[in-house]
Chains A and B, each alone.
Chain A
Amino acid sequence: MPEPLIEMREVSRRYDEGPPALHEVSLRVAPGESVAVLGPSGSGKSTLLNLLAGLDRPTAGTVTVDGVRVDQLGEAASARYRRARIGLVFQFFNLLDDLTVADNVMLPAQLAGMARGTAQRRAAELLGALGVDRHAGAYPGRLSGGERQRVAVARALMNRPALLLADEPTGALDTAAGADVRRLLAELHADGQTIILVTHDLVLAETCATRTVRLLDGRIADDTAAELVR
């Protein structure tokens, strides 16, 4: 196996006095892989995603992404890590309603210090590639769910992240829009983008993921990559 893009070693995350959200989870993901993380509600899927994004820190264990020890980052460093290496796609898009589509897409690049003109060109390129360039000057509230998610994906790809993290990307979409987003993610993976998908959507997992990790009560219950090794 090539040098992993993600390496989680015996990672645990416990909130207060309850049972651990994650318990001694170890996971290696190679560059270019597309991994679907499945599991029932409360199994630890979102916690795993948050740890990879640097939005949360593990109680124990180490998380390394693209050579960065994410579990050791402070607030500012994790913000810089996210904007340099991570693209985030959310179930409810999390587009900022008071910014235009183009401004939403440009935001991660501008936070990283990219000049407005450069960011505009990159955003236009992405919006065009994702088929929503006609909405560049519109506000998110006027777009359909599928279009909003495409805009969210464009925003996630703005800084050419090494890793795309998607949390239930089809969860808030109707069937047609869901299929549209599935195709989009599959295309991204085909272009070599490393993707971690947290989803309940088995069709999405089958369409876009080359590997499936199933979580149950904070532990990895099933990992198709391990089965392949066996």
Chain B
Amino acid sequence: MSALSRVVRSGVGRRRVPTVVIGLVVMIAVTSAVLGASLMVASRDPFDRAFGQQRGAHLSAQFDAGAVTPAQLAASARADGVAASAGPFPTTQVTLREQRGRRLPPMAVVGRAAPDGAVDRPELTAGRWASAPGEIVLAVDPGRQGPPVPLGATWTLPDLPGTPTVTLVGKARSVSGTADAWVTPAQVAAWTTAGGPRGYQMLYRFRAAGTTAQVEAGRAAVAGAVPAGALTGAVSWLTTRRDATERTVLLVPFLIAFGVLGVVMAVFIVGNVIAGAISAATRRIGILKALGFTPAQVVRAYLGQALVPAGVGVAAGLGLGTVLTKPILNQTDRVYGTADSGVALGVHLVVAAGALLVVTVTAWAAAARAGRLRSVDALAVGRTPRPGRGRWAARWTARLPLPRPLTLGLAHPFARPLRSASVVAAIAFGAAAVTFAVGLSVSLNRIQEVEDVADVRVMPRFEGSREGPGGGPPPGGTPVGEEPPSLDGPAVVAALTAQPGTGDYVGLAQTEVTVPGVTGALDAVGVTGTNAGRYYRMVSGSWLTGPGQIVVATPFLTATGTRVGDTVTLTGRGVEIAVRIVGEAFNVDGDGMQVVTDLATLHAAEPDLAPATYFVTVRPGTDREAYATGLGEALRPAGADATTVSHEPDEMLLIIGTLTGLLSLMLVVVAGLGVLNVVVLETRERVHDLGVHKALGMTPRQMTAMVVASVVVTGLAGGAAGTAIGVAVQRAVLDAMAGGAGFALPASVTDAYRPVDLLLFGLGGLVIAVGGALLPAGWAARTRTAVALRTE
């Protein structure tokens, strides 16, 4: 064995703390990088990937079973431009009733023998496909977890003769949103024979479907291939895509930000720890040089000492990262509707190579610097601080009215400012990461809070409605050519006013308008109610105070080149309405192009326009379920129904929460390890001084207090710096993310921190520092005085 190998082996074996710290830090950094990189990969065009994976339908077409035969529908697959098709599948609409008696909103049920075929392959997320009468598979909504419905749950169909029962045997996800539920074709036939509404569904993929015009051309070709009037509705994949993109418009940049954070932190922290570990070995390097090692040999020796534990850390990190990433990827898959099986091999290779490269470069730089030192200087390093350094601090702290061990410890960091700076940096990384991650999570929750303002939703009591099972929008959105059914506004308002527990409510009526400078029609929402403003978060300007005003989102202002205070002309049904932009709201609906105005404004163009939906916020202490049931009964004569709005945590928030926790934990551990590394080094170097203290009567407790106090200043400084950095990064990332999506965020979303939060984050740096110092403090306290005094 060469002298070099011997040095590397003894360095790795005997300097256990730096070796273990390098291994652990690299492992955690690699884990974090695998997680981050995997999220970045998973967040790349999620809808398009999911749509491709499931061979999504460019057009989901609904046909009148009385006007067309299955053979004619099968023949429509040869219509001009059709590349592939699936169907015809028999369809119907049913209403399920829970065992406790609650009726679910009507759902569109499709009869499919299997989730395969050339178009739309729903992915089973639980259970199995329906294979016998009485079995049903529910469509899962990608955006919401919803109340967990266990497999085996049963419902009755109260509107059918004999009140048949169905049992849940599986759950599936269709990116195309082609159904609320699936049963066997025979089951649909049985239900429709018994009186249910009948229809057929055909799913098409077109050779060209990138634009609305291309999809419309395909729809026309299909309509032309079947008897006139047979096509009763069709949903374009572009509509589905827009809805899905709205849901993930902020999630993708959030996850990318987390991914970047993981990777960047990994690079910085590995660099910091490796550089610290090498500089800690400077004295040993001096000894090696005194023995005849050349600078090149020194560099090779220390590269080897860093790469051995780093290699182990990389291997362990890849494994741990894969294990931890899997459930998070599963969550993102659920949100995106994708089906990525796990961490891509490319991620493994890039992360492993990147980590080893960072270790190599940092170790090389630090060892080269140490290797160039004159032996005598290197030998002088690492014993006692250079005379004079930090003495002002020792004099100053000695006057503090604190126990002497504490004042002695408080002065320590000033004796080695560079090393203390590395501790501050390690702690700052941890504090910044936690501050940033928590802030980002809080901001996201604030966005979600707007959606959670409403407790109850009032919609028309459907006869043949396609309302989803969770109270969500119809699958695929409102079918092409269909007007959303409206409510009897005065009757609903009367019921709401009379119903005990009603707080605020807002009625939403939707139509389309055009605006000069914008191609195509825009969604226009007319609002009416007691306090509609609370359902929107304002970025600038003010909420509507009357007709003739609109509130829009940033993309609208950008697209039209307008600002708050400007006047624009809306055109609806050929009628021009001059309106003033009074406010900018954070509103992702319609890709931020939606126009929100008082309902009375839109009445100028559509006098009959009435709300299709009311959202109600109940008074504090009101039972939402009981309120919805009571209101539903009161609304029955008006042809309306009330259902509770799910306040289940958004899946996106669960992902962010998981990531926040995981990433914060990892970075705090790494920061603590950085502190541990330095304090161990300090303790070793000061072991003689520690022995003197003990010989003079310092008790183990006083010794522990002194060592812990030695990281208080660095902990507070790191905590303060890290908190400031974390807040700045949170602001910058939020602005960049929102800006990338074309939105501006309201101050209530970006101002995520209260003063007390910032104080706690700052003190968190102290906690990290103390956590990292406790172990070496214990070693110092247990050091045998006689042995320590002999160390020189």
Interface set of A (CB-CB < 8 Å, partner B)? 50, 53, 55-56, 75-76, 79-80, 82-84, 88, 90, 92, 94, 96-100, 103, 107-108, 110-113, 116, 139, 141, 155, 159
Contact = CB atoms under 8 A, between A and B. Distances in A.
Interface stretch (B179-187, B390-398, B446-454): B390-398
B223 to A, nearest CB: 90
A50 B786 contact: yes
A76 B403 CA distance: 17
A102 B394 CA distance: 12
A79 B698 CA distance: 6
A76 B696 contact: no
| Size bracket of the B interface | 20 to 34
A55 B695 contact: yes
B411 interface: yes
Nearest to A141: B387
A108 B405 CA distance: 11
Contacts of B692: 94, 96
Contact of B394 (A94, A99, A155): A99
Nearest to B393: A98
Contact of B696 (A83, A92, A100, A116): A83
Interface in B688-713: 688-689, 692-702
Main secondary structure of the interface of B (DSSP, over half): helix
A76 B702 CA distance: 9
A116 B785 contact: no
A111 B407 CA distance: 11
Nearest to A76: B699
28 contacts: A53-B695, A55-B695, A55-B785, A56-B784, A75-B781, A75-B782, A79-B694, A79-B700, A82-B695, A82-B696, A83-B696, A88-B695, A88-B696, A90-B789, A94-B688, A96-B692, A97-B387, A98-B385, A98-B411, A107-B404, A107-B693, A111-B404, A111-B693, A111-B698, A111-B699, A112-B697, A116-B398, A155-B696
A80 B782 CA distance: 15
A6 to B, nearest CB: 18
A214 to B, nearest CB: 22
A101 to B, nearest CB: 12
A97 B404 contact: no
A190 B542 CA distance: 92
A11 to B, nearest CB: 15
Contacts of A79: 694, 697-700, 702
Contacts of B14: none
Nearest to B706: A111
Contacts of A100: 395
Nearest to A110: B404
B415 interface: yes
Given A79-B700, A111-B405, A139-B387, 15 more contacts: A55-B789, A56-B784, A75-B782, A76-B701, A79-B694, A82-B696, A90-B789, A97-B384, A98-B385, A98-B411, A98-B415, A110-B404, A111-B404, A111-B697, A111-B698
Nearest to B389: A98
B414 to A, nearest CB: 9
B100 interface: no
B383 to A, nearest CB: 10
B696 to A, nearest CB: 5
A107 B398 CA distance: 10
Nearest to B395: A100
A94 B695 contact: yes
A99 B695 CA distance: 16
Nearest to B412: A98
B754 interface: no
Interface in B320-360: none
A83 B697 contact: yes
The 6 A-B pairs of least Cβ separation, nearest first, read: A83-B697, A110-B404, A79-B699, A76-B699, A55-B786, A55-B785
Contact of A111 (B394, B395, B398, B696): B696
B391 A98 contact: yes
A90 to B, nearest CB: 7
A55 B781 CA distance: 13
Contacts of A116: 398-399
Nearest to A50: B786
Contacts of B785: 55
Nearest to A103: B398
Scoring A92, A99, A159 by chain B CB atoms within 10 A of each residue's CB, the highest score goes to: A99
A159 B695 CA distance: 13
Contacts of A110: 404
